[in-house]
Amino acid sequence: MVGLLDRRLVFVTGKGGVGKTTVAASLALYASEHGRRTLLCEVDAKGDISAYFETGPTSFAGREVLPGLWAMSMDTEASLREYLKLNLRIPVVGRIGPLAKAFDFVATAAPGVREILTVGKLCWEVRERRYDLVVVDASATGHIVGQLAAPQAINELVRVGLIRSQTDWMLDILSDPAQTGLAIVTTPEEMPVNETMELAVKVREETTVELAAVVVNRVLPELFGRGEEAVFEELRRPAAAGVVAEMVGGDPAPVLEAARLAVTLRRTRAGHLERLRQGLDPSVPMLYLPYLFTRSHGLRTIRQVARSLGEELGT
């Protein structure tokens, strides 16, 4: 399988709350640090990207936020304007009047219009080759299939017209695993794992995009090695705990309890991780990112995650 970042268009999705945006930003940062001119695009513009890079709001026009790394946020209306400007070359465009309102209306009535303008813009950036790599902080798991399958859906709905003729080249890019891939971000918890496995099936059946990686975020560390857990259990007995209390001059009970909690959490999650491994096609690479026990946020977090990603990607 083509390496995740050796492609030209990488969509990153995941259930809400698993760290999808963080992983997308880290992938983009990592790629840009390795000499690839990278565009990071936030699709559901919540402003998280600009918070991470501490650069102020991003817009439809890409902006270089770090050397070799551009950030933009998707705006379907701006995408439509750009498209009309590039493709129609008819003078009436300026006189359509309330384009925003009209567009909003058509987009509300016709599903797939927003999606096609999003995917169309991204594919266009790939085709224009201004960047080596486009990383997309895409829609969450519930909506990603609709987004990726928009060109096909439009093909079914729209039989003729300019949009129809445009979907073919988009499909060429999206269907080519050497160019396009999808990464699903998850955490080793029950619901995110379930959704990831369900999504993997839907992506295979309903889209032409290849699942290029599953990124498991917030993996908890293993506390004890072989035989050490028995030692830990011994330490929790009153006799041993008493010795510790005396030597350090404080009650170790909360500390031991916290370790027990950590072991249990790790164990519950290991079960879900195993289920995920069993449920996925073994050819799909899995990348593991550790839980960050830090106070940091913003760019510091992104850098830490990017470093872990680098280790996982084997460089």
Is residue 201 near another protein by the rule CB under 8 A? no
As measured in angstroms, the least distance from the Cβ of 1 to another protein is 28
**CA 86, 89, 94, 97 torsion: positive or negative?**
negative
Residue with smaller CB distance to another protein, 98 or 314: 98
Range in contact with another protein (rule: CB under 8 A) among 63-71, 171-179, 248-256, 276-284: 248-256
Contact call for residues 72 and 62 (beta carbons, < 8 A): yes
Interface with another protein includes 228 (CB under 8 A)?
yes
Stretch that binds another protein, among 124-132, 231-239, 277-285, 307-315 (CB under 8 A): 231-239
In the complex, the smallest distance separating the C-beta of residue 189 from another protein, rounded to whole angstroms, is: 8
Could you say whether residue 160 binds another protein (CB under 8 A)? Answer: yes
d(CA 99, CA 115): 18
Residues 174, 210: Cα–Cα separation, whole Å: 8
Residues of this chain, 249-308, that bind another protein according to CB under 8 A: 249-252, 254-259, 261-262, 264-265, 268, 293-295, 297
The answer to whether residues 135 and 12 touch, using CB atoms and an 8 Å cutoff, is: yes
**Dist CA 24 CA 10 (whole Å):** 9
Among 54, 204, 243, 311, binds another protein (CB under 8 A): 243
The single residue among 56, 57, 61, 88 that binds another protein, judged by CB under 8 A, is 88
The alpha carbons of the chain give a radius of gyration, in whole angstroms, of 23
The one-letter amino acid at 238: P
| Residue 84 sits in the site that holds another protein (CB under 8 A) | yes
Near another protein in 171-200, by CB under 8 A? 190-192, 194
24-63: contacts with another protein (CB under 8 A) = 44, 48
49 Cβ neighbours under 8 A, 6+ residues apart: 21, 25, 40, 42, 58, 71, 73, 137
> Rule CB under 8 A: is residue 159 a binding residue for another protein?
yes
101 binds another protein (CB under 8 A): yes
Maximum C-alpha span of the chain: 88
